[in-house]
Structures are given as structure tokens and as C-alpha cells.
């Protein structure tokens, strides 16, 4: 009873925050609602007993991805009217993705597994250990491949955005650190009446 | 029904038994900081309010409470008020999983260390929301600096935690402490211990990494626009976070509630005493570093995080796991 009640509570919160992500006028508020949505999905994962997945979702998406979103969105100077105009352009694409995800959910829930199976599988053992058991053995190739895909995406992003500007001044940390007092200051003994010879 | 309300009461009392000592130790920590800084700089420090000035922080809190809370007219009002509350809440909810003895903990969960890591990574939201909602130059720059800084140092903190977890074989905080009964992890993992303390300084925005609130360039950084109690909440949260990171260091590296050597007169003393004394030692290191080192430049800070700590910790994870694997020391 308690579990079912909290499921509907968090699910309702999740859907509400998702709606606010789309319809709030200020993009910063959208990102903050997105954070709330991630948080609620974390709670949902914890409710089905998958606490490892839930907390990793929180660390990765709330602790890193959403912060970077916020970081970028805060620095944009967006006119709200143009934003609302632009939103209509993306509706077909959004509907396409929504359709794909809906089809996946229907496929998984109706045709693929029965729910009891999943439940006993999850509760049979500490789920951190379970993931550890299969991740590097059964799913080794998939794991490495997804790592390579992420690495490629990262390198791609760096290559696309990094522009080397030869005109700006840079710090040379090694030369700064290896500098000693003798390189900068010279003690000169001056004979009185002669002054320093410029050499 | 009565048993439920009984359990609820016990739970609330347990929460208070953590939160109240933390808040009181914040006040004492502020006093300790001013005394330590005074001693390092050959001054007396606070010595007027109460015996040896020990009530100085309580007087400061009362002063803050009676001041007017100003809201900048161009700020985002809700987020402006919400940010300090969020920061303080996050620094207090982390105490739910901290075990101060082998039995005394609010929630003994399987993934305690991940929960702590998640909560400490949420801490950046308070800062970044405060900076943006103030709608002013210096707070915004402070927020941006802090976001980049905290994310950078979280990476190395993550790898340090992974090294410890490889040695323990569990994500439970009590298991982590109990596996250090014979030897504290600070001895075999000394480099990681040092890196963890330095990253903790950066994560809590303490000197020499307090660039988000660098008063020489940014007035007061992300809380420039805050006054009265909303400033007080940030202040409280910063020191509560310091205590939290110190307790985390003690749990991960200094054997939690275990005495230094497991012999009679030492192990007769209750574990909570050892825990508190170790936390205070780490806190003293925080203050000592503050009094000794000058502030880092921002590019030096980023270079230290990404070009030194990240490769070093990454290589150390590989070395540690290879060592444990080849000598058959891997847990389970």
C-alpha cells in the first residue's frame, strides 16, 4: 500500500515536472524542473529496489549533466518570444522520439518479460553485486563498445569546438616552476663612483 | 498504530541527535577557526563574549538574525530565497548515512558512500542558483567559477573513493570502517588520502581554493547580494560541509570509530570519542591550511584538478586493483 502510494506520488511529480520543463518560459527554470524530474526518477528506481541504478542516475545526471546544462543555459541571452516561436519547429521531431520510446515501453512491458520475473530477479541479491557480476562478464563487449562511443563523442566535441588561437598569451607552468631566484635577481657589487655598467 | 508513532518519534529524536550537535559544532568551529588564525598570526582572537570568547559565534548569530533581509529588486525572488535553504538542507541530509559508531547511524544503507557522493555533488546547485538568481555581476562570476571548480574536483574525489571501495568490496559505510580495524587506509593509500583532503578543500570552497568567494576580485562571490539570515544559512552550510567532508575523510581513511592501536586502555574508550577527535584533527588541518597557504590562481586550480589529480588518481586506481588482483587480496 505504502509502496503503491509512493509510486503514484513520485510518478505524478515526474510527469508534472516534465510538463513544466517544456512549458516554463525561462530556460533556467526548465533546467531546474529537469533536475526535479531526474530526482523523481531516482526515487522511482529506489522504489523498485534498484538503488544502485537510481543513485548513479542522480550522480551522473543531476550532479554533472544538468549542472553543465544550467551552466550553458545561464550564459545565454535568450529572448523568450523567439524561443516560444522556435518551439513549434521541433514538435514533429519530438513526436517521433516520443513515439519510438512509447513503442519500446509497450514492447518491453507487453511482449518481452513478465513482471514477476523481473521482481524476483531484482530482489534475489544486492543489486550492486548483481550489476558487478554481469557487467564485466556477460555484457563485456557491450560495456566496452558504449565506452568507445562515449569516447568518440567526447573527442568529436573537442575537435568541433576547440580553436587554437596563436595570438593569445599563455602560461608556461613548467618554466614558471623551474625558475629560481638566480634567474631573476643578480647581486651586483658596485664600486663607488662608477655605477652599474650596462652589458 | 502506536508502534508506528513510537518509531516515528524515535526516528525524529535520532535525526535531532545528529543535527543539533552538527549545528552547535558549526558555532564552535567558527570560534576555533578564529582562535587558530589568531594564534598563527600572533593575535588573541575573540576573547570578550563569554569565557575565552567561546560565545562569540552565538552572539554573531543573534546579530545576523536581527538584521534586515534585503532582496535585490532585479533578482529572481523565489530562487534567491531558495538557494541558501537548499545549500543548508543538502549539508544536513548527508548526515543520514554517517555512522559515528558501529551501531549508531540513522540509515544504514547498502550504497551509503554513493549517497554521500551524490549529495555532495548536488551542493553546487545552491551556489549556482544563488549566483544566477542574484542577477548581478560578481555573484554570477562566482557561481560560474564554483560550478567548474566543484565538478573538476568531484572527478578526482570519485576516483579516490573507487580506490577505497576496491580495497573494501562494499559500498556500505559501516563495512568500509570495519575493514580498517587492523590498518587504517591512510597508511597503504597515503597519496590518495592527501589528494582527498586537498580535493575536499576545493569541494567545500575553502582556502586556498575559495575562488567562488574570492574577496579580492569578486567582492564576496556568489553570496555578495545576501544579507542577514540568508547569508547566515550559507555560512552555516559551508561549515557544516567542512565537518561533513572531515567525517567522510575519517570514515574512508582514518578508521572511523576505531582507536589507533587495538590495545586495552585505548579500545575501552567509546568509539564516538575517537570519531569526534579524528574529525577535529582533520578540521584543524583545514584551518591550518587556511592560515598557511596563499589563494590559488584560477588557472592553477584547474590545472591541478585536471592535469595532475585526475591522471594521478586514475593511474593509482589501476595500480591498486592490479596489486590486489595479483596478490589475491581482492575482497570476496
Contact B128 A74 (CB under 8 A): yes
Sort out which chain A residues have CB atoms less than 8 A from B308's CB and list them: none
Distance CA B203, CA B193 (A): 15
Sort out which chain B residues have CB atoms less than 8 A from A74's CB and list them: 128, 132, 140, 143-144
Q: Which three cell numbers stand for residue B209?
A: 581554493
Collect all residues from B whose CB is shorter than 8 A from any CB in A.
79, 109-111, 114-115, 117-118, 121-122, 124-125, 128-129, 132, 140, 143-144, 147-148, 151, 154, 171, 299-300, 303
**With the C-alpha atoms ordered B117, B121, B122, B123, is the resulting torsion angle positive or negative?**
positive
Report the residue of chain B nearest A49, measured CA to CA. B110
Residue B130, helix vs strand vs coil: helix
pLDDT one digit per residue (tens) for chain B, 332 residues:
567 788 888 888 888 888 898 888 898 899 999 999 999 988 888 888 878 888 888 888 888 888 888 888 887 888 888 889 999 999 899 888 888 887 888 888 888 888 988 888 888 888 888 888 888 888 888 888 888 888 888 888 999 999 998 888 888 888 888 888 888 888 888 899 999 999 998 888 887 887 777 666 777 777 888 888 888 888 888 899 999 999 999 998 888 888 877 777 777 778 888 888 899 999 999 999 988 888 888 888 888 889 889 999 999 999 999 998 888 777 76
B121, B132, B143: residue with CB nearest A63: B121
Sort out which chain B residues have CB atoms less than 8 A from A53's CB and list them: none
- Asked if residue A31 has pLDDT above 80, the reply is yes
Between CA A122 and CA A18, with CA B118 as vertex, the angle to 5 degrees is 75
Report the residue of chain B nearest A76, measured CA to CA. B132
Contact B114 A56 (CB under 8 A): yes
Answering whether pTM is above 0.80, one says: yes
This complex has an ipTM of: 0.81
Q: Tens digit of pLDDT for each residue in A136-188?
A: 888 889 989 999 999 999 999 999 988 888 888 887 888 888 888 888 887 77
Mutation pick from A54, A65, A74 vs chain B, by most beta carbons of B within 10 Å, is A74
Distance CA B255, CA A20 (A): 46
A51, A59, A68: residue with CB nearest B121: A59
Distance CA B50, CA A61 (A): 48
Inter-helix orientation angle B137-168/B228-253, to 10°: 20
* A55 lies within 8 A of chain B by CB: yes
The set of residues, in sequence order, having a beta carbon less than 8 Å from that of B50 and lying 6+ positions away, is B56
Contact B128 A67 (CB under 8 A): yes
Distance CA B126, CA B11 (A): 27
Report the residue of chain A nearest B303, measured CA to CA. A173
Contact B128 A59 (CB under 8 A): no
Q: Are B219 and B138 in contact (CB under 8 A)?
A: yes
Amino acid at each position: 500500500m505504502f509502496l503503491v502510494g509512493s509510486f503514484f506520488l513520485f510518478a505524478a511529480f515526474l510527469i508534472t515536472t516534465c510538463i513544466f520543463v517544456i512549458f516554463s518560459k525561462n530556460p533556467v527554470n526548465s533546467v531546474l524542473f529537469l533536475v526535479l524530474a531526474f530526482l523523481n526518477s531516482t526515487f522511482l528506481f529506489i522504489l523498485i529496489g534498484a538503488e544502485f541504478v537510481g543513485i548513479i542516475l542522480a550522480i551522473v545526471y543531476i550532479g554533472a549533466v544538468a549542472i553543465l546544462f544550467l551552466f550553458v543555459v545561464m550564459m545565454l541571452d535568450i529572448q523568450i518570444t523567439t524561443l516560444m516561436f522556435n518551439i513549434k519547429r521541433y514538435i514533429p521531431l519530438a513526436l517521433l522520439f516520443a513515439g519510438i520510446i512509447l513503442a519500446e515501453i509497450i514492447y518491453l512491458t507487453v511482449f518481452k518479460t513478465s513482471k514477476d520475473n523481473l521482481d524476483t530477479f531484482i530482489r534475489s541479491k544486492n543489486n550492486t553485486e548483481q550489476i558487478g557480476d554481469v557487467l564485466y562478464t556477460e555484457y563485456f563487449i557491450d560495456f566496452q563498445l558504449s565506452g568507445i562511443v562515449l569516447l568518440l563523442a567526447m573527442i568529436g566535441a573537442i575537435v568541433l569546438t576547440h580553436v587554437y588561437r596563436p595570438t593569445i598569451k599563455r602560461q608556461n607552468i613548467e618554466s614558471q616552476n623551474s625558475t629560481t631566484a638566480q634567474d631573476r635577481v643578480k647581486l651586483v657589487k658596485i664600486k663607488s663612483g662608477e655605477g652599474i655598467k650596462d652589458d | 498504530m502506536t508502534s508506528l508513532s513510537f518509531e516515528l518519534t524515535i526516528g525524529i529524536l535520532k535525526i535531532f541527535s545528529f543535527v543539533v550537535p552538527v549545528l552547535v559544532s558549526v558555532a564552535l568551529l567558527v570560534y576555533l577557526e578564529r582562535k587558530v588564525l589568531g594564534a598563527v598570526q600572533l593575535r588573541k582572537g575573540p576573547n570578550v563574549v563569554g569565557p575565552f570568547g567561546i560565545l562569540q559565534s552565538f552572539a554573531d548569530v543573534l546579530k545576523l538574525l536581527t538584521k534586515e533581509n534585503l532582496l535585490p529588486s532585479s533578482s529572481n525572488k523565489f530562487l534567491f530565497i531558495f538557494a541558501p535553504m537548499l545549500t543548508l538542507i543538502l549539508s544536513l541530509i548527508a548526515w543520514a548515512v554517517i555512522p559515528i559508531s558501529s551501531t549508531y547511524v540513522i540509515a544504514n544503507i547498502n550504497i551509503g558512500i554513493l549517497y554521500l557522493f551524490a549529495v555532495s555533488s548536488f551542493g553546487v546547485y545552491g551556489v549556482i542558483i544563488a549566483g544566477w538568481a542574484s542577477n548581478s555581476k560578481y555573484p554570477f562570476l562566482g557561481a560560474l567559477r564554483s560550478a567548474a571548480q566543484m565538478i573538476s574536483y568531484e572527478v578526482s574525489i570519485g576516483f579516490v573513493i573507487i580506490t577505497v571501495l576496491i580495497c573494501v568490496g562494499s559500498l556500505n559505510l559501516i563495512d568500509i570502517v570495519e575493514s580498517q580495524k587492523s590498518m587504517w587506509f591512510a597508511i597503504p593509500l597515503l597519496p590518495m588520502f592527501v589528494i582527498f583532503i586537498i580535493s575536499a578543500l576545493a569541494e567545500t570552497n575553502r582556502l586556498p581554493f575559495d575562488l567562488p568567494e574570492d574577496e579580492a576580485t569578486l567582492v564576496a562571490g556568489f553570496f555578495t547580494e545576501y544579507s542577514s539570515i540568508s547569508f547566515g544559512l550559507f555560512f552555516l552550510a559551508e561549515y557544516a560541509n567542512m565537518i561533513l567532508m572531515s567525517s567522510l575523510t575519517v570514515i574512508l581513511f582514518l578508521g572511523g570509530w576505531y582507536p589507533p592501536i587495538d590495545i586495552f586502555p585505548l579500545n575501552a574508550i567509546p568509539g564516538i570519542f575517537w570519531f569526534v577527535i579524528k574529525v577535529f584533527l582533520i578540521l584543524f588541518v583545514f584551518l591550518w591550511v587556511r592560515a598557511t597557504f596563499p589563494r590559488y590562481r584560477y588557472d592553477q586550480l584547474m590545472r591541478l584538478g585536471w592535469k595532475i589529480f585526475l591522471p594521478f588518481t586514475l593511474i593509482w586506481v589501476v595500480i591498486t586493483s592490479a596489486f590486489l588482483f595479483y596478490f589475491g587480496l581482492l575482497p570476496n
